[in-house]
C-alpha cells in the first residue's frame, strides 16, 4: 500500500531497476492555477527564454530529473495546448487544415482526426 511520496519514490526506483529504463519515469499533474506550481519547477519561457513542445518538456524532465511546469505560454506546439483544454481550437484546426495534406492526404479524414 502506498502511503506517501517516499513510497512513490521507492516504486519508481523499483520500476527503473526492473525495467532497465534509460531515463527516469515521470509523473504528470494537471494544475488548476499558476500558484499550484511547485517551488523550484522550471518554466521554459521564464527560465530559459524559449518555448518547448510538451514532448521536449517530458524529455527534459526525464533526462535532467527536473520538474517542468508548462502553462499555455510555455508551449511551442499547439496540439497539446488544444488537447489539454488550454485553448479552444480555431475553425482552421477543426476543419482539418493543420494536418491536410502534410500528414493526412484526405481533408475529411484530417477533419475527423482534429475532433
Q: What is the pLDDT of residues 64-79, one digit of tens each?
A: 999 999 999 999 999 9
Round to whole Å and give the CA distance between 46 and 100. 34
Q: Please report where in the chains the cell 518555448 appears, as a residue.
A: 51
- The full length of the chain comes to 115
What letter does residue 47 receive in the DSSP assignment?
Answer: I
pLDDT at site 17: 86
pLDDT over 90 (residue 97): yes
Cell numbers placing 50: 524559449
pLDDT at site 2: 76
Do residues 57 and 70 touch, judged by C-beta distance below 8 A? yes
pLDDT at site 15: 84
pLDDT at site 1: 75
pLDDT at site 32: 86
Q: How does the average pLDDT of the chain come out, rounded?
A: 92
Helix (H, G, I), strand (E, B) or coil at 52: strand
Round to whole Å and give the CA distance between 99 and 102. 6
pLDDT at site 8: 86
Cell numbers placing 81: 495546448
pLDDT at site 101: 94
b/e sequence 58-85, b meaning 16+ C-beta within 10 Å: bebbbeeeeebbbeeebbbeebbbbeee
Q: What is the pLDDT of residues 22-49, one digit of tens each?
A: 877 788 999 988 999 999 999 999 999 9
pLDDT over 90 (residue 93): yes
Amino acid at each position: 500500500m502506498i502511503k506517501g511520496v517516499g513510497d512513490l519514490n521507492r516504486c519508481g526506483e523499483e520500476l527503473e531497476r526492473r525495467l532497465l529504463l534509460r531515463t527516469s519515469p515521470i509523473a504528470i499533474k494537471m494544475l488548476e492555477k499558476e500558484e499550484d506550481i511547485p517551488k523550484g519547477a522550471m518554466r521554459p519561457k521564464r527560465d530559459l527564454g524559449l518555448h518547448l513542445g510538451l514532448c521536449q518538456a517530458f524529455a527534459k524532465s526525464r533526462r535532467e530529473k527536473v520538474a517542468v511546469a508548462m502553462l499555455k505560454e510555455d508551449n511551442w506546439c499547439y496540439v497539446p495546448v488544444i488537447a489539454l483544454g488550454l485553448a479552444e481550437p480555431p475553425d482552421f484546426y477543426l476543419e482539418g487544415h493543420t494536418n491536410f495534406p502534410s500528414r493526412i492526404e484526405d481533408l475529411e479524414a484530417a477533419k475527423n482526426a482534429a475532433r
